[in-house]
Structure 1
Amino acid sequence: MAKVLCVLYDDPIDGVPEQYARDEIPRITKYHDGQTAPTPSAIDFKPGELLGSVSGELGLRAFLEAQGHVLVVTSDKDGPDSEFERELIDAEVVISQPFWPAYLTAARIAKAPQLKLALTAGIGSDHVDLQAAIERGITVAEVTFSNSISVAEHVVMMILSLVRNYLPSHEWVLKGGWNIADCAARAYDLEGMHVGTVAAGRIGSGVLRRLKPFEVNLHYTDRHRLPEHVEKELGVTWHPDVESMVKVCDVVTINCPLHPETEHLFDERMIAKMKRGAYIVNTARGKICDRDAIARALESGQLAGYAGDVWFPQPAPRDHPWRTMPHHGMTPHTSGTTLSAQARYAAGAREILECWFSKRPIREEYLIVDGGRLAGAGAHAYSAGNATSGSEETSRLKTS
């Protein structure tokens, strides 16, 4: 018998929906690169239901309890008195989501002698101290590609929202106004602009493919260069580093993982290299950008807009400057947790658990850390180290 500790975000304030806006969602069986969607032996949920909140339980309870395991689900994750910290002591498996991350710091890992598997329901395992996991021999896995296209769609939406000045224009409608000049004063066409992505993995290349029909000039930088035929297909220009790319771009979208090499990549110095009036869209991780440098650049006009759904820490403290800075389009971390995406990452979490408990190999593409080293997708995307430092700031939410 194993104890599985699952940290999920809170239910809707009005309760779990009794009915949904749509009766069904499209069934996705494979992704653009040929990887198949998750293939568990069965699922105990209806695709399209809310699975990522506490009551949804990722659809895992019946499966786990039928095997004699104990499932503990909570949203209380921050601070030494949290339910997460109390239950962690004897947990073998911890499941978390990037949208409401349970930060597995080295200190927390040290308090969990039975912990053997840290599973991300979604993509992005930077809320785990990967160096500590490597040293302890803990397996870290995530459901690679399960919500990558969900995020890519969100990026395109946010780019258009910023460039076309959508949110302030919508606000005039809510206020009862018809202020066309006020709306148009910061609105531009995306057509003809130069748009670049930091990283062209599954999300970044998904963004490029979706932007190509907009007749923009596409750019990318990545330590793994795309094949020549893909560059030609997309009409995209490769740059050897971030600095050389941002100098020519009107819009920069950040789609790289967070690890020590990318932490605070977009600081005062990097932003100063960008065109005046450029836009940044960040759906990767909030800590890739320097919080205060972004706010200052929007106030000075060096940046014309900043949008994204990732913050550090998460949830963001109420006094986080990104909540009140000018010309922003921030949302809570929602890009990868649509009802469509939840069906895939919940199925992927079950597939990983089925493999784990039956002692079968977990898919290589789902592995981040295995056998005391970076492995699978982790070896491709991450660097060993710790990006969880500072996450304890979330405990301020309970008192502020």
Structure 2
Amino acid sequence: MAKVLLVLYPDPLTGYPPAYARDSIPVLHGYPDGQTLPTPSSIDFTPGHLIGCVSGELGLRTFLEAAGHQLVVTSDKEGPDSVFDRELPDADVVISQPFWPAYLTADRIAKAPRLKLAITAGIGSDHVDLDAAIQRGITVAEETYSNSISVAEHTVMQILALVRNFVASHRWVEQGGWNIADCAQRAYDLEGMDVGIIAAGRIGLAVLRRLAPFSVNLHYTKTHRLDRAVERELNLTYHPDTASLARNVDVVSIHAPLHPQTYRLFDAAMLASMRRGAYIVNTARAEIVDRDAIVAALTDGHLAGYAGDVWYPQPPPTDHPWRSMPHNAMTPHVSGTTLSAQARYGAGTREILEAWLSGKPIRQEYLIVDGGHLAGVGATSYTVDGTTSPGSGH
């Protein structure tokens, strides 16, 4: 019998299950690069239902308990007295999401002698200490591509929200006003602007493709340059590094992984090099930018706006300055956990569990660490010291 410890975000304040806005979600037949969708033997949830919260349980309870396994589900993940820390020592499998990460630090891994598999329900396994996982022979896996397009759509929405001054305009309506001049004084057309993508991996390239019809000038930087045919198709301008791109665009969209070279990459000096009135959208990792430098640049007017859905820590404290800084369009970390995405990463999580529990190989596209070394997508997305490598954008 395996003990599976599942950490998910809390239920809606209005209770579970929610009343759904739609009766169904579209049926997809594959990912843009040809990768197949998750292929579990079956699922025990309705696609389009909220399975990413505690009561949703990723639709795993019936499957696991019918096979004699134990499932523990919690949202309590912080501190030595948390449910997560109390249940971890005898857990065989830990499952967590990037949106409500249960940080598997080296210390926590040392206290979990039975732990053999860590699954990220979604994409992005940087909440797992990969060095410790490699040393212990723990398999780390995630559902590559399951929510990449979800994040790309969220990114485009936030770019438009900033440039068109949507948040402030909507607020006037809520407050009973009709203050057109107040709304228009910070609203612009995106058309004709220079828009730059940091790391054109799966998400970054999807953003480029979605922005092309807006008649913008598209720029990008990436460790491994895109195929010239793609550059011609989208009329892309390539930059050899972030510094070159940042000073030549009106909008920066960040999609790089977090690693030593990107940690606080957008510091005060980088921000000062950007055009006055530029915008930044960050749906990658919060620590790629300097938290306080962002606040200062918005306050003094050098940046016109900042948006994204990634914070540090997650969830952030109530007094986190990004909650109240001027001209922001921040959201909680929700870009990759739409009901559509949940259907995919829920099915992918079950596919991984089915393979692992039956002793079969986990699909290569899902692997980050396997057999004591980086594997699958992990081999191209992470370095040997456990930090992510430049330009993966998976």
Normalising to structure 1: TM-score of the pair?
0.95
What displacement does 1:131 show? Answer: 1.7
Q: Does 1:313 align with 2:313?
A: yes
Q: Which residue of 1 is the match for residue 280 of structure 2?
A: 280
Q: Which residue of 2 is the match for residue 326 of structure 1?
A: 326
Bigger Cα displacement from structure 2, 355-364 vs 75-84:
355-364
What displacement does 1:259 show? Answer: 2.7
Question: What is the aligned-residue identity percentage?
Answer: 72
Q: Which residue of 1 is the match for residue 99 of structure 2?
A: 99
Is the Cα–Cα contact under 8 Å of residues 130 and 386 in structure 2 kept in the other structure? Answer: yes
Count of residue correspondences: 388
Q: Which residue of 1 is the match for residue 19 of structure 2?
A: 19
- Please list the CA deviations of residues 330-352 of structure 1 after superposition, one character each: whole Å capped at 9, or x if unmatched: 11111000100000000000001
Q: Which residue of 1 is the match for residue 266 of structure 2?
A: 266
Matches within 5 A, 1:200-219: 200-219=200-219
What displacement does 1:363 show? Answer: 1.2
Measured in 2, the distance between the counterparts of 1:274 and 1:381 equals 28
Measured in 2, the distance between the counterparts of 1:334 and 1:144 equals 17
Measured in 2, the distance between the counterparts of 1:133 and 1:273 equals 39
Is the Cα–Cα contact under 8 Å of residues 277 and 301 in structure 2 kept in the other structure? Answer: yes
Measured in 1, the distance between the counterparts of 2:328 and 2:347 equals 34
What displacement does 1:270 show? Answer: 1.7
Measured in 1, the distance between the counterparts of 2:256 and 2:283 equals 9
Q: Which residue of 1 is the match for residue 53 of structure 2?
A: 53
Q: Does 1:139 align with 2:139?
A: yes
Q: Structure 2: state its 5+ residue gaps.
A: 389-394
Is the Cα–Cα contact under 8 Å of residues 94 and 119 in structure 1 kept in the other structure? Answer: yes
Matches within 5 A, 1:94-133: 94-133=94-133
Tell me, what secondary structure is at the counterpart of 1:376? coil
Provide closer, same or farther for how the CA distance between residues 18 and 98 of structure 1 changes in structure 2, counting only shifts above 3 A. closer
What displacement does 1:386 show? Answer: 5.7
Measured in 2, the distance between the counterparts of 1:250 and 1:230 equals 22
What displacement does 1:300 show? Answer: 1.4
Over the residues paired in the alignment, what is the CA RMSD in angstroms?
Answer: 1.3
What displacement does 1:18 show? Answer: 4.7
Tell me, what secondary structure is at the counterpart of 2:377? helix
Q: Which residue of 2 is the match for residue 379 of structure 1?
A: 379
Bigger Cα displacement from structure 2, 254-263 vs 67-76:
254-263
Q: Which residue of 1 is the match for residue 232 of structure 2?
A: 232
Letter in structure 1 aligned against 2:324? T
Q: Does 1:29 align with 2:29?
A: yes
What displacement does 1:204 show? Answer: 0.4
- Please list the CA deviations of residues 287-341 of structure 1 after superposition, one character each: whole Å capped at 9, or x if unmatched: 2111111111111112110001110110011111101111000111110001000
Letter in structure 2 aligned against 1:221? T
Matches within 5 A, 1:352-363: 352-363=352-363
Measured in 2, the distance between the counterparts of 1:22 and 1:164 equals 28
Q: Which residue of 2 is the match for residue 80 of structure 1?
A: 80
Letter in structure 2 aligned against 1:137? G
What displacement does 1:29 show? Answer: 2.1
Is the Cα–Cα contact under 8 Å of residues 374 and 384 in structure 1 kept in the other structure? Answer: yes
Bigger Cα displacement from structure 2, 306-315 vs 254-263:
254-263
What displacement does 1:17 show? Answer: 3.2
Bigger Cα displacement from structure 2, 294-303 vs 207-216:
294-303
Provide closer, same or farther for how the CA distance between residues 105 and 386 of structure 1 changes in structure 2, counting only shifts above 3 A. farther
- Please list every run of at least 4 consecutive aligned residues from structure 1 whose deviation after the TM superposition is greater than 3 angstroms: 384-388
Is the Cα–Cα contact under 8 Å of residues 271 and 297 in structure 1 kept in the other structure? Answer: yes
Is the Cα–Cα contact under 8 Å of residues 123 and 146 in structure 2 kept in the other structure? Answer: yes
What displacement does 1:266 show? Answer: 1.4
Letter in structure 1 aligned against 2:259? H
Measured in 1, the distance between the counterparts of 2:160 and 2:383 equals 32
Q: Which residue of 2 is the match for residue 365 of structure 1?
A: 365
Q: Which residue of 2 is the match for residue 181 of structure 1?
A: 181
Is the Cα–Cα contact under 8 Å of residues 12 and 18 in structure 2 kept in the other structure? Answer: no
Letter in structure 1 aligned against 2:248? V
Letter in structure 2 aligned against 1:213? P
Is the Cα–Cα contact under 8 Å of residues 126 and 259 in structure 1 kept in the other structure? Answer: no
Tell me, what secondary structure is at the counterpart of 1:28? coil
- Please list the CA deviations of residues 253-296 of structure 1 after superposition, one character each: whole Å capped at 9, or x if unmatched: 01122233322121112212211111000111112111111111
Is the Cα–Cα contact under 8 Å of residues 261 and 383 in structure 1 kept in the other structure? Answer: no
Q: Which residue of 2 is the match for residue 68 of structure 1?
A: 68
Q: Structure 1: state its 5+ residue gaps.
A: 389-400
Is the Cα–Cα contact under 8 Å of residues 89 and 113 in structure 1 kept in the other structure? Answer: yes
Tell me, what secondary structure is at the counterpart of 2:253? strand
Measured in 1, the distance between the counterparts of 2:299 and 2:14 equals 37
Measured in 1, the distance between the counterparts of 2:229 and 2:240 equals 18
Provide closer, same or farther for how the CA distance between residues 38 and 205 of structure 1 changes in structure 2, counting only shifts above 3 A. same
Is the Cα–Cα contact under 8 Å of residues 52 and 337 in structure 1 kept in the other structure? Answer: yes
Measured in 2, the distance between the counterparts of 1:276 and 1:381 equals 33
Tell me, what secondary structure is at the counterpart of 1:316? coil
Is the Cα–Cα contact under 8 Å of residues 119 and 349 in structure 1 kept in the other structure? Answer: yes
Measured in 2, the distance between the counterparts of 1:286 and 1:375 equals 26
Bigger Cα displacement from structure 2, 266-275 vs 178-187:
266-275
- Please list the CA deviations of residues 229-251 of structure 1 after superposition, one character each: whole Å capped at 9, or x if unmatched: 11111111111111111111100
Measured in 2, the distance between the counterparts of 1:49 and 1:352 equals 21
- Please list the CA deviations of residues 81-134 of structure 1 after superposition, one character each: whole Å capped at 9, or x if unmatched: 100001010111100000000011111111111111110000111111112212
Is the Cα–Cα contact under 8 Å of residues 259 and 385 in structure 1 kept in the other structure? Answer: no
Is the Cα–Cα contact under 8 Å of residues 260 and 385 in structure 1 kept in the other structure? Answer: no
Measured in 1, the distance between the counterparts of 2:29 and 2:226 equals 24
